[in-house]
Chain A
Amino acid sequence: MSGLAILSKAMIQERKDIFLSILGGFIAGIAGVGLFSASGYLISQTVFAPPLYTLIVLTSLVKLLGLIRAASRYAERLYSHRATFSMLSRLRTSYFAKLIPLTPGLLNKTRSGDLLSRIVGDVESLQHYFLRVAYPPIIVVMVFLATMLFTSAFSFWMACLFVIGMLATALAVPGIVLLGQRRIHGRVRRQRALLSAEVTEVLYGFRDLKLYGQLAQREQQLQEASAALAAEQRRAAGHLLRGQLMHAFVTYLITWGVLALGAYLIQNGSLAGVFLAMLVMASLTVFEEAAAMSVLPAYKQDSEHAAGRLTETLKPPAEPAAQPCRSLSAAHAVSMELSAVSFYYEGERRPALRDISLHFPPGSKTAIVGPSGSGKSTIVDMLLKLRPPTAGEIKMGGVPLTELEETGIWQGANVVLQQGHFFRGTIRDNLLLDGDGYEDGQLTDMLAKMHLQHVSLTDRVVEKGENLSDGEKQRLALARAMLRKGRLWLLDEPTSSLDDVTEQRVMRHLFEQAADDTLLLICHRLAGLEAMDRIVVLDQGRIVETGTFAELMEQKGYLYEMKQIELQLIGEAGE
């Protein structure tokens, strides 16, 4: 499984800690077996009244082994957990890094609540892979082999019995557990992801649910999902419990076997009776060491599933291998060209854009207008290389977009998206996303230009900017774009939530700054279009008409009709 390959790679990075934990585990195991065997032997020896010093040596040995065992167990735990949690934290970060190139396409496919549960829950459950699947078998096998060597010195048949015991505990019991596990198979995790996604949705859609009186019903659904999760978890834990007890019973059975076989062998005269107690004690201990094996398959499957799901999210899109190498010059305004570009959203037959050819000369000011869903925003997404065109070619500054480095484009463009995101933090944090050095004075000037005098740089912004009004968010997004030094402006309905007075003032500042730059404005209002060099009217993914405002008005086409509606509305309101 490719998922687990990632884990193996992560483990190599922590090899030192892993080696130390295996060493610690082995010493602890051997010391444990030695300790209990020695105490069994000690008691048996007393029957023969040996000299006192034998006794003293033996008891000291018992205590020494006890301390060694405790200390090396401590080392094993510390190193293994440190290695594990370092790996996990690295995995989380790299998971996020791998998600970056997959947006925005990914968020259309996965619920973000589900993603959250994946990265937190799945990565968390991967700790079991390191702690219970990867290295314990190595320790168990090593301790078993050592014990077997030790036993074979006393009796061949006893050693055979230990081998049977080893096979039963290390193979048979885990095998049986695995068979049952197949049935349970990740149902817990699916149920958990489902609940997580549903809780997230209820929290985000809270207001609408409350208004539509749906909260009670949603709560009912959540309660059912929660009960189902608890039941699945209980079933899974019950299965593990059965595995553990099966293991315990096999251990008892082997001890019983040692006793029975011992009785027979002693009667035969092929085993000295003094070793019987020692062997009984050894068998009780060595199988205890192997207890981890009974739960191993469950964890293995769990981790495989988690790793599989993590990699599934990260399935890379079928992208051309051509490595972009050229960067966009930011020194002067760029030209842009779309030739015969079409775009289909995944799983849709209807193209979002159909055969679009447009040329934007350097320094030009273009507006794209059209009904919602006509594909205006998709053009911006493609120019920003957020989505590759399904067909056709896009050039920027004469260079095909596929050969341009995306970070170069982003650096050279001042972008306002329809739904810009605001992060938890301060206004300053949100203004300086790219971390450019600006004086506070410059920032407050910019806020003033955007009519945000009432906002201070240290004001808190909550998650998703929920404490800002839509108008404030749009003006902040504009301020954020205007603090950048690109020569290309891509503005997707930047002022839709502003009242006309504010819009007019804000846009005046923007146009002053962008006087010599290439500018693409997507807008819904037809006011102010006279100032644009060219207007492109889109409808259902097609270009309906292009031209200056005056030309299109004269033409009496689509734009003219839209303007008539607008004028009529205003005229109606006017006198």
Chain B
Amino acid sequence: MKRKTSLMSQQMSAQRKNMVLLAVLSLALGAAIISQAALLAEAVQRIFVERASFSSVVLLLGTLLAAMAARTLLSYGNGKIGLRMAADAKRNMRAAVLRHLTHADMPSALSGQTGGKVSIALDAVDEADSYFSQYMPRMMEAAMIPLMILAVAFFQHANTGFIMLLTAPFIPLFMILVGLKTKAKSEQKYEQLAEFSGTFLDSLQGLVTLKLFGRTRRQQQEIERSSIGYRDATMGILQIAFTNTFMLESIVMLSIGIVALELALQLLVFDSLAFHTAFFLLLLVPEYYSLLKNTGTAFHSGRTSMGAVRKVDEMLATASSRSGLADSGEGAAAKAGTQAMASKDGCRAAPAVGSALPPALELNHVRFSYAPESFEIKTGRIAIGPGEHTAIVGKSGSGKTTLLNLLSGLLHPASGEILVNGCPLVEYDEASWFKHVSYITQHPYIFAGTFAENIAIGAGRSVSRTEIEQAAEEAGLAAVAAQFEQGFDTLVGEGGRGLSGGEKQRLALARAFLKRPALILFDEPTVGLDLHTERILQRSIAALAETATMITVAHRLHTIRNADKLLFMENGAVVDSGSHEELLKRLPPYAEMVRVQRKGGMAV
């Protein structure tokens, strides 16, 4: 999925119809502006110079009022179109960002600060607004109306036209010079904002720890520093913008002054100009410059928008390069798969999981590491039969959880492959694969919502209340819910009631009971829980595992003893596999682990 065009040009091509409409309205607006000035000058001429009676100018005044009304309405129309364009563009861009965030793979979902990503999805996209709501309509107006005014000026009094023509280029020149600097600066502002967001969210979540360690003051200073950095970045952009406007205004003032002087000289010294024409031009000239000047301001906000859009673009681009990497990785795996296909029949492009449940798994010389310099997961050839219960054992930090992530399909091996029912895992359709997998992590995420909603997530379909309550019962969660006044309708997760570690894991179990998975992955299922909860878990897990292949990261001898096969890991490598008795005999580090457990642990 290569994106050939940039986000902005995609948006622009989608807005073509609106652009035509803008152009037509701008043309009409120009006509209204010129008529207003002409009528105003005519009125003053009649009243002041010709001393016409009040009744004779009534018609003229009526027409003038109509021109003013038309001008207002046309401006309104232009503004409305701009807003419509902005709303469409923001919706589309945010849709792309959200699609990117929800379709990311695990490593990229884990990398980067959450606050920063949220800031791009909200602030950066919002900042793109002014490109469409301000910059586009102003630019369209500036492209048409000044030309119309200039034509009129030439037609009325060529000298004024020349002065206007000569001074006009200074305005875009300044804009371009300064705008280029603004662009770089505005990107810097976004970095500052993202950093500020990240620092704040991180500090907020660790506030209790910070308090206990007396670090709040320092963290406050950190926030102050990053907040001031953000202020300075903003002021940096603004200062350029203000200098920009100051220059523009000076040029405009100077130009109007020159026009006025020339007109006065013509009127007075050479007597070659009618008062009416002079006043008409004097009214038109500020309109001309103010349009050009608006362009300057709009140009600046357009630049700022572009900076923000670039950030969005960059974020989306990392996605394509990353998924490009994954693609090539998958390509290699697919190639290996094709070779395998030659020997094994029944491996089609998208194998179905449903054909053989519970599934058989096979690890085939899998290699994986998060970063080039970090430790590497290494396995040999390991087969796990359908319905088998496997325990992964090893010291903490030996890579057990990473291996589980690989088996779940959340991470893809850098080389080697994982076969499910004889077909490479990467060839399965992700969604249909996950339909058969339950992964109970150490910290299941509890979403803001009710108990019942949190359990129902497991089903992936609409489920009845009875089913939810049944699943909760099986996971030993019904008693927990019963303690709350609102039972299963109690709000939990962020913004609701906090759940203890044991309650969270039981909730994850309830989700699994709704799902009835063919493959269960447990990450240290008994860790951090008291024995009472542990008993509930053991019982529930056993019930769930009756019809499934199960792989558990375990320290508990109970779990290990019940497993059909153990994988013993050390420093990322699967050192040995076999039954409890076999490993006890031939693997001294494993025997040492069991010995300590039997002795009863913490002898002080």
Task: Check A345 for interface membership: any CB of B closer than 8 A.
Answer: yes
Task: Check A109 for interface membership: any CB of B closer than 8 A.
Answer: yes
B198 to chain A, nearest CB (A): 7
Task: Check B183 for interface membership: any CB of A closer than 8 A.
Answer: no
> 0/1 per residue, A374-397, Cβ < 8 Å to B?
100100000010100000000000
Which residues of chain A from 294 to 350 have a CB within 8 Å of any chain B CB? 345, 348-350
A297 to chain B, nearest CB (A): 18
Task: Check B20 for interface membership: any CB of A closer than 8 A.
Answer: no
Tell me whether B460 and A214 are in contact (CB under 8 A).
yes
Task: Check A276 for interface membership: any CB of B closer than 8 A.
Answer: yes
Tell me whether A99 and B448 are in contact (CB under 8 A).
no
Tell me whether A372 and B53 are in contact (CB under 8 A).
no
A277: contacting residue among B48, B201, B458, CB under 8 A: B48
Tell me whether A111 and B72 are in contact (CB under 8 A).
no
Nearest B residue to A208, CB-CB? B445
Residues of A within 8 A of B111 (CB): 462
Which residues of chain B from 176 to 212 have a CB within 8 Å of any chain A CB? 193, 196-212
User: Could you tell me the dominant secondary structure of chain A's interface residues?
Assistant: helix
> 0/1 per residue, B436-450, Cβ < 8 Å to A?
011101101101100
Task: Check B254 for interface membership: any CB of A closer than 8 A.
Answer: yes
Residues of A within 8 A of B53 (CB): 267
9 A-B residue pairs with CB within 8 Å: A35-B253, A74-B245, A81-B235, A116-B201, A117-B122, A372-B503, A373-B503, A435-B215, A525-B602
A61 to chain B, nearest CB (A): 10
Task: Check A223 for interface membership: any CB of B closer than 8 A.
Answer: yes
Residues of B within 8 A of A226 (CB): 91, 94-95, 98
A231: contacting residue among B87, B202, B268, CB under 8 A: B87
Task: Check B79 for interface membership: any CB of A closer than 8 A.
Answer: yes
Residues of A within 8 A of B556 (CB): 569
* A-B contacts besides A55-B264, A410-B213, A504-B602, 15 pairs, CB < 8 Å: A66-B256, A69-B249, A89-B231, A108-B498, A211-B434, A213-B460, A234-B86, A238-B83, A372-B501, A386-B211, A499-B395, A502-B396, A525-B601, A565-B534, A570-B600
Number of B residues whose C-beta is below 8 Å from A? 177
Interface centre among A81, A234, A273 (most CB of B within 10 A): A234
Q: A88-B231, A572-B561 are in contact. Are A215 and B206 (CB under 8 A)?
A: no
Give Cα A371–Cα B535 distance, bound, in whole angstroms: 11
Which residues of chain B from 76 to 124 have a CB within 8 Å of any chain A CB? 76, 79-80, 83-84, 86-88, 90-91, 94-95, 98-99, 101-104, 106, 109-111, 113-115, 117-119, 121-123
Task: Check B598 for interface membership: any CB of A closer than 8 A.
Answer: yes
Give Cα A213–Cα B103 distance, bound, in whole angstroms: 11
Residues of B within 8 A of A71 (CB): 246
Residues of A within 8 A of B64 (CB): 256, 259
Give Cα A499–Cα B396 distance, bound, in whole angstroms: 6
Tell me whether A434 and B401 are in contact (CB under 8 A).
no
Q: A104-B208, A350-B483 are in contact. Are A524 and B529 (CB under 8 A)?
A: yes
Interface residues on A, range: 35 or more
Task: Check A44 for interface membership: any CB of B closer than 8 A.
Answer: yes
Task: Check A263 for interface membership: any CB of B closer than 8 A.
Answer: yes
Tell me whether B215 and A470 are in contact (CB under 8 A).
no
Nearest A residue to B514, CB-CB? A212
B214 to chain A, nearest CB (A): 5
B204: contacting residue among A47, A116, A471, A562, CB under 8 A: A116
Task: Check A126 for interface membership: any CB of B closer than 8 A.
Answer: no
Nearest B residue to A386, CB-CB? B208
Give Cα A120–Cα B115 distance, bound, in whole angstroms: 11
B88 to chain A, nearest CB (A): 8
Give Cα A420–Cα B211 distance, bound, in whole angstroms: 12
B127 to chain A, nearest CB (A): 11
Give Cα A501–Cα B592 distance, bound, in whole angstroms: 8
Task: Check B357 for interface membership: any CB of A closer than 8 A.
Answer: no
Tell me whether A39 and B502 are in contact (CB under 8 A).
no
Tell me whether B397 and A85 are in contact (CB under 8 A).
no
Nearest B residue to A374, CB-CB? B530
Residues of A within 8 A of B242 (CB): 74, 77-78, 81
Tell me whether A196 and B557 are in contact (CB under 8 A).
no
Give Cα A255–Cα B75 distance, bound, in whole angstroms: 18
Which residues of chain A from 36 to 68 have a CB within 8 Å of any chain B CB? 36, 39-40, 42-44, 46-47, 49-50, 52, 55, 58-59, 62-63, 66-67
A277 to chain B, nearest CB (A): 5
Task: Check A245 for interface membership: any CB of B closer than 8 A.
Answer: yes
Tell me whether A421 and B208 are in contact (CB under 8 A).
yes
> 0/1 per residue, A257-291, Cβ < 8 Å to B?
00110111011000001101100100000000000
Give Cα A411–Cα B460 distance, bound, in whole angstroms: 49
Nearest B residue to A562, CB-CB? B531
Task: Check A206 for interface membership: any CB of B closer than 8 A.
Answer: yes
Nearest B residue to A415, CB-CB? B212
Task: Check A1 for interface membership: any CB of B closer than 8 A.
Answer: no
Residues of B within 8 A of A410 (CB): 211-214
Task: Check B133 for interface membership: any CB of A closer than 8 A.
Answer: yes
Listed from nearest, the 7 A-B pairs whose CB atoms lie closest are A528-B602, A471-B396, A66-B253, A527-B601, A421-B206, A372-B502, A573-B557
> 0/1 per residue, B338-363, Cβ < 8 Å to A?
00000000000000000000000000
Tell me whether B529 and A252 are in contact (CB under 8 A).
no
Q: A43-B264, A256-B61, A277-B44 are in contact. Are A77 and B122 (CB under 8 A)?
A: no
Q: A69-B249, A233-B129, A500-B596 are in contact. Are A373 and B282 (CB under 8 A)?
A: no
A211 to chain B, nearest CB (A): 5
Residues of A within 8 A of B235 (CB): 81-82, 85
Task: Check A472 for interface membership: any CB of B closer than 8 A.
Answer: yes
Nearest B residue to A480, CB-CB? B213
> 0/1 per residue, A553-575, Cβ < 8 Å to B?
00000000010011001101110
Nearest B residue to A115, CB-CB? B204
Give Cα A70–Cα B245 distance, bound, in whole angstroms: 8
Tell me whether A503 and B257 are in contact (CB under 8 A).
no
Task: Check A249 for interface membership: any CB of B closer than 8 A.
Answer: yes
A373 to chain B, nearest CB (A): 5
Task: Check B555 for interface membership: any CB of A closer than 8 A.
Answer: yes
Tell me whether A109 and B495 are in contact (CB under 8 A).
yes
Which residues of chain B from 210 to 233 have a CB within 8 Å of any chain A CB? 210-216, 218-220, 223-224, 227-228, 230-231
Interface centre among A93, A96, A260 (most CB of B within 10 A): A96
Give Cα A10–Cα B369 distance, bound, in whole angstroms: 51
Q: A39-B282, A113-B118, A213-B460 are in contact. Are A471 and B431 (CB under 8 A)?
A: no
> 0/1 per residue, A494-524, Cβ < 8 Å to B?
0011111111100110010000000000001
A96: contacting residue among B43, B44, B220, B604, CB under 8 A: B220
Task: Check A241 for interface membership: any CB of B closer than 8 A.
Answer: yes
Nearest A residue to B600, CB-CB? A527
Residues of B within 8 A of A267 (CB): 51, 53-54
Give Cα A63–Cα B257 distance, bound, in whole angstroms: 6
Give Cα A480–Cα B207 distance, bound, in whole angstroms: 16
Residues of A within 8 A of B464 (CB): none
Give Cα A145–Cα B558 distance, bound, in whole angstroms: 88
Task: Check A195 for interface membership: any CB of B closer than 8 A.
Answer: yes
Task: Check B528 for interface membership: any CB of A closer than 8 A.
Answer: yes
Tell me whether A99 and B204 are in contact (CB under 8 A).
yes
Tell me whether A373 and B211 are in contact (CB under 8 A).
no
Tell me whether A562 and B532 are in contact (CB under 8 A).
yes
Give Cα A256–Cα B61 distance, bound, in whole angstroms: 8
Give Cα A280–Cα B282 distance, bound, in whole angstroms: 12
| Contact stretch, chosen from A164-172, A174-182, A197-205, A355-363 | A197-205
Give Cα A573–Cα B594 distance, bound, in whole angstroms: 9
Give Cα A255–Cα B37 distance, bound, in whole angstroms: 12
> 0/1 per residue, B45-87, Cβ < 8 Å to A?
0011101011001000100110011011001100110011011
Q: A219-B98, A241-B83, A423-B202 are in contact. Are A280 and B40 (CB under 8 A)?
A: yes
Residues of B within 8 A of A97 (CB): 220
Tell me whether A504 and B601 are in contact (CB under 8 A).
yes
Task: Check A159 for interface membership: any CB of B closer than 8 A.
Answer: no
Residues of A within 8 A of B494 (CB): 107, 111-113, 201
Give Cα A504–Cα B357 distance, bound, in whole angstroms: 41
